[in-house]
Amino acid sequence: MKRILFILTVVLSIGIIFSACNYNSKASTLAKDEVYSCSMHQQIAKEKPGQCPICHMNLEKRKMTPAEYQKIHKDVDNYSDK
């Protein structure tokens, strides 16, 4: 019984470590300076290509302005500083 409990604890610990590593990889993908946005609705900005949820036009790739970059990455930067 103790052996099974030990193995279960080790497996759960490894799972927690890998899930924490996965968060960091997501944060690094946010570091791009390109975003997909709608030409009609500039407030729509996504990391991946797709369609605008308002008009259903295809999103176009564009460079983010420094202000947009700062606004999007503020939460990620604050989280990683803690």
Does the pLDDT of residue 80 top 60, yes or no? no
65 in any annotated domain: yes
pLDDT tens-digit profile of 20-76? 665 544 444 444 678 888 989 988 888 889 999 999 999 999 887 777 777 766 655
Q: Please tell me which residue, 58 or 13, carries the higher pLDDT value.
A: 58
82 in any annotated domain: no
**Cβ within 8 Å of residue 48, ≥6 positions away:** 36
14 in any annotated domain: no
Q: Is the pTM of this model over 0.85?
A: no
Does the pLDDT of residue 77 top 60, yes or no? no
Instruction: Give the chain's domain count.
Output: 1
> What domain range is 54 assigned to?
32-70
CA-CA-CA-CA torsion sign (54, 61, 45, 30): positive
Most distant CA atoms of the chain, gap in Å: 63
